[in-house]
Amino acid sequence: ELDLYFVENKTSISNNILTDEVKLKQIIVNLISNAIKYTVKGKVTFGYQINEEDKNIEFIVKDTGLGIDEGNLKVIFDRFRRIEDEFSVALSGLGLGLAISKAYIEMLGGTISVHSKIKVGSEFKFTIPLIYDESIPIPILNQINVLNVAVKQNYQTILVAEDDNINFLLIKRILELKKYKVLRAINGQEAVDICRENVDIHLVLMDIKMPVLNGFEAFKIINSFNPKLPVIAQTAYASVEDYEKIMELGFTAYVSKPLDKEKIFEIIDSIFHKSCNY
């Protein structure tokens, strides 16, 4: 079992931060993806800290995975070198993503470092300059309201039908912000079985592209024995044909990947609000 933890920043900020959003997201995705890929069991931790004194933001990605020996740490960010030790097969493909991440970090004006130990895990830290956008203040009251809503939420159970580990962990983290209990199905057939055996599921997030049974097939079966169970379709392939099929089959709602946190909360809150009024 693999757990994903998020360490919240202890320093509140009153303004948005200026940086290249696309590059920053790619860096974070690369590092977290690597951490999850090479951690068979244990945990992956992600967090960041605002350092007003040094005028930078420090991001941390830590795992309890395979680890990298001291010799290979010297070339870990070199895209033209490969790791050579007893874990070389398992760690194949690591270098290119790290090389790209390092290049992006340097473009943003930051630095990256790594500490690692074989069979213990790795910790990557990188910084970017702390530059505030003074023209767009963050609405603090809205942040407080969102937190209050999260605390007041009931502990509804949501089944996430998702075969990709990274996608599931990210969705799980989003849903747990509002104290939802999260179950997982790794294919369509498992989603059907869990819904059939567990009457306490309040909502299903159904990935359309899944093995064994795809999301469409799984939904048809679930809808046949529990037509009142809300099912939200989710897919990265937002074609017109898929959208039309989703609507024709009678899914409760539809969201596209990557999930927008506020959008998914808006949909879920609407569904649960309607169910409370029946």
For tokens 């767009």, the residue is 136
Token readout for 6 is: 């998020």
Specify the pLDDT at position 158: 97
Nearest CA among 45, 75, 74, 50 for reference residue 60: 45
Specify the pLDDT at position 86: 47
Token readout for 154 is: 């009931």
**Exposed/middle/buried for residue 276 (C-beta within 10 Å: 0-12, 13-18, 19+):** exposed
Tell me how long the chain is. Answer: 278
Report if pTM > 0.95: no
Token readout for 13 is: 């900020």
Q: How many CB atoms lie within 10 A of CB 116?
A: 19
Specify the pLDDT at position 236: 74
**Average pLDDT, consecutive stretches of 10 residues, N- to C-terminus, the chain (278 residues):** 79 78 88 86 91 92 89 72 48 65 91 92 94 62 37 73 85 86 95 94 95 96 96 80 84 84 89 69
Report all structural domains of the chain as residue ranges with CATH numbers, in order of start. Answer: 2-133 (3.30.565.10), 140-276 (3.40.50.2300)
